[in-house]
Structure 1
């Protein structure tokens, strides 16, 4: 069994995501037993892009910005070559997995999530913090079904040397028209636009602006050329029109949204302590000597077989003790995670995955039982990428963890469904006893 790795008081588990900003892994606080998410940044990246001060500022802000509808940043630690950001671990998956699962949401339920989103955004704006990259991937649900916005202040950090934001590397469907231009923009107004697109998607089940051609998509966003479906109530329709105003100067502000009759219905602002003491000592300690003590990152050496998964990872993976999520593909919409189980040998699983991916015209890179598939997104606006990793959960029982590395969430779920249909002969379903 692999020896579990520790960072400070945290036992580090499996990877749950990767993005522009580094990797995210499950971890557990050995003192309290609490599950956390650990965001891992390479110091080399931060130094290369001269981002030390900016990241220090953004992490300090995330620590200070404390709100029940925002994922909490607990602390920051440093190793020789990496920085570890310890975040609240949110167990309910992405809000948009609900749409994939159920289609559009009822108006009352959509309004509840929208109210929580606006509260989180308003709180940050009051502290001078703008998200600038609000999209489905950043909206999580906790165990009680409450919305949690993730990556406030971190998601839009530019990784280009010139320090300019590059919004088009994400999904542009949620981006305000003024952000698509080359001029500077008001972060508050841009966040409000993205909230409007999110509300529309919750209630409609599809995007207000969704074109396969990038030029057409941009021109429709710039002209705010969209229409609300017939099932939207007139009040909701009216509010969305005010939010999706292409002119940021006349676009409705947070106060206007909060005073809107549709928004105010069943609105109960969440209670929280405003005066909570927050220490930034850990942030200062991590960043003060980053340049002096930086040592080039060494590549990790792994053994030849698939990684073994320990009991802690199994339990965390299945969100508590309900292991059915491991086996039942209908229940696996957890945190953008999708997975299946196979009784075939690991090598057979990998070769089947590669063959199916190639038949779908995807580029394939495999190393140590981990495969990355790459293609162009359906609306041709950027890269679409998926990572598959094989884990041995018991002798001759393997779990294949599939996660989105780049592209749109709704598109990813369609891909996953289609991909699994083509792999049916290697997928084991204990309920039906097949495979």
Structure 2
């Protein structure tokens, strides 16, 4: 098992452009953490290091129920692989938020009622109110950064783009959640753009899809808001929904439209949001939220057990993947390079819940052959990890769009059962869910059991 400082690394949770996140356990206390690891050696991107230090500076003094907590960090640690080889790294140990992403849950189980959405909107606002009073703006509020703990509390994550300045000029954030003033390249309030993005998330919780692609005049949906045709905006978004315009309450429509205003001076302040009639509406109890999640989770578990138990023919994968070698997709005509390794089947950790996972009684090698066939047939690029039964995929993208990138891990639940865990690494979240759904169908009868 790999180690990093005082932590034993259990499995990979995800990878980014310059870092990876491991599920790890402290060797003395036994506490589980999310360990964010970055190489800290020759060739390291110094701008990325600045983002990491910025994240530490923002998080080290923050302590709130609705924020992921920074527990520990070390700029001069060693990552030791099972083979004994060492790499100099910079790590951050973060509170493990084990309930998964809020929007994984919505995507897999359906939209929230306005009352349930209000429960989580309150928690978002409370978390933002706390960091704003500390003089910090987040600047990357988006679905991926809304996490849930084991008790279904919302936690805001990832402060790499945060700022302590009242006004900002740098283009920070994620396309689809950035306010129009960021696209325009003018000075903007970090607190105002946080609330703008929160308005988008509120819409998604109830609609199960985003209100627009980008807050730009080129976007046909956002153009309706920027040109004061909000009534048309809502008619478009309710045209095919049950109940028509009444699909969203009038108070909900008023709050969301005001938070998404083109002119930042026309948007409500945080205090005004808290005084809005929709915000003051009925809120479920914690017990009611727990019951809601349990009911949805049980329905999801039943759906994940495929009705079609036929094992598809993935024998083609035997030609592109073999056990115990490192292999990568390569351009045609080039020679494939295979390096002998001993790949480990990482353990499934029940404390860490994903909604994009399913279960199988097939062997790890059979499941990896299926992944190899999938990569050859559908992915632009695919790579097999040299430590775990884990593969990474980069899908073919439409013109002008960021390709969906994701990782699939095969995990050991017990002697007979495996978990196939799918995690988005990059790209649009809603496109990722289409990919995930198709991948699960591709496995067919391999997805043949429940937890």
TM-score bin, normalised by smaller chain: 0.7 to 0.9
SS in 1 for 2:136: coil
SS in 2 for 1:203: helix
SS in 2 for 1:64: coil
1:214-241 residue CA offsets vs partner (Å, 9 max, x unmatched): 9536964883773264321111111111
Q: TM-score, normalised by structure 1?
A: 0.74
1:62-93 residue CA offsets vs partner (Å, 9 max, x unmatched): 01111110001111123142111111101111
Could you say which residue in structure 1 is the equivalent of 2:82? none
Could you say which residue in structure 1 is the equivalent of 2:360? 341
Contact 1:139 1:148 in 2 (8 A): yes
Question: 340, 350, 355: which one pairs with 1:318?
Answer: 350
Contact 2:384 2:390 in 1 (8 A): yes
Could you say which residue in structure 2 is the equivalent of 1:403? 423
SS in 1 for 2:351: coil
- What are the equivalent positions in structure 2 for 1:244-323 lying under 5 Å apart? 244-266=260-282, 304-309=341-346, 313-314=347-348, 317-319=349-351
In structure 2, C-alpha distance between the alignment counterparts of 1:306 and 1:96, rounded to whole Å: 32
- Asked if 1:107 is matched to 2:114, the reply is yes
In structure 2, C-alpha distance between the alignment counterparts of 1:422 and 1:194, rounded to whole Å: 35
Q: CA deviation at 1:353?
A: 2.1
Could you say which residue in structure 2 is the equivalent of 1:165? 171
Q: CA deviation at 1:184?
A: 3.1
Structure 1 residues 132 and 37: CA distance shift in structure 2, 3 A: same
C-alpha RMSD of matched pairs (Å): 3.4
In structure 2, C-alpha distance between the alignment counterparts of 1:379 and 1:336, rounded to whole Å: 29
In structure 2, C-alpha distance between the alignment counterparts of 1:379 and 1:237, rounded to whole Å: 33
In structure 2, C-alpha distance between the alignment counterparts of 1:28 and 1:166, rounded to whole Å: 33
Q: TM-score, normalised by structure 2?
A: 0.72
1:184-220 residue CA offsets vs partner (Å, 9 max, x unmatched): 3221111111000000011111111148x99536964
Structure 1 residues 191 and 20: CA distance shift in structure 2, 3 A: farther
Question: 363, 370, 380: which one pairs with 2:381?
Answer: 363
Could you say which residue in structure 2 is the equivalent of 1:97? 104
1:320-356 residue CA offsets vs partner (Å, 9 max, x unmatched): 7xxxxxxxxxxxxx3465254352461x433432333
SS in 2 for 1:11: strand
Could you say which residue in structure 1 is the equivalent of 2:46? 49
SS in 2 for 1:133: coil
Could you say which residue in structure 2 is the equivalent of 1:240? 256
In structure 2, C-alpha distance between the alignment counterparts of 1:139 and 1:265, rounded to whole Å: 22
| Count, aligned residues | 368
Question: 107, 119, 124: which one pairs with 2:126?
Answer: 119
Could you say which residue in structure 2 is the equivalent of 1:16? 13
SS in 1 for 2:138: coil
In structure 2, C-alpha distance between the alignment counterparts of 1:399 and 1:431, rounded to whole Å: 9
Could you say which residue in structure 1 is the equivalent of 2:203? 200
In structure 2, C-alpha distance between the alignment counterparts of 1:303 and 1:239, rounded to whole Å: 59
SS in 2 for 1:120: helix
Contact 1:11 1:27 in 2 (8 A): yes
In structure 1, C-alpha distance between the alignment counterparts of 2:217 and 2:448, rounded to whole Å: 40
Q: CA deviation at 1:148?
A: 0.5
In structure 2, C-alpha distance between the alignment counterparts of 1:431 and 1:376, rounded to whole Å: 31
Could you say which residue in structure 2 is the equivalent of 1:144? 151
SS in 2 for 1:265: coil
SS in 1 for 2:219: helix
Contact 2:97 2:148 in 1 (8 A): yes
In structure 2, C-alpha distance between the alignment counterparts of 1:335 and 1:107, rounded to whole Å: 24
In the alignment, structure 2 segments of 5+ residues that lack a partner are 79-87, 164-168, 239-244, 287-337
Contact 1:365 1:373 in 2 (8 A): yes
In structure 1, C-alpha distance between the alignment counterparts of 2:217 and 2:42, rounded to whole Å: 30
Q: CA deviation at 1:174?
A: 1.8
In structure 2, C-alpha distance between the alignment counterparts of 1:46 and 1:246, rounded to whole Å: 41
In structure 1, C-alpha distance between the alignment counterparts of 2:278 and 2:399, rounded to whole Å: 33
- What are the equivalent positions in structure 2 for 1:65-76 lying under 5 Å apart? 65-76=62-73
Structure 1 residues 349 and 57: CA distance shift in structure 2, 3 A: closer
Contact 1:180 1:218 in 2 (8 A): no
In structure 2, C-alpha distance between the alignment counterparts of 1:88 and 1:46, rounded to whole Å: 29
SS in 2 for 1:261: coil
In structure 1, C-alpha distance between the alignment counterparts of 2:212 and 2:160, rounded to whole Å: 26
Return the structure number with greater relative CO, CA threshold 8 A, min gap 6.
Answer: 1
Contact 1:18 1:405 in 2 (8 A): yes
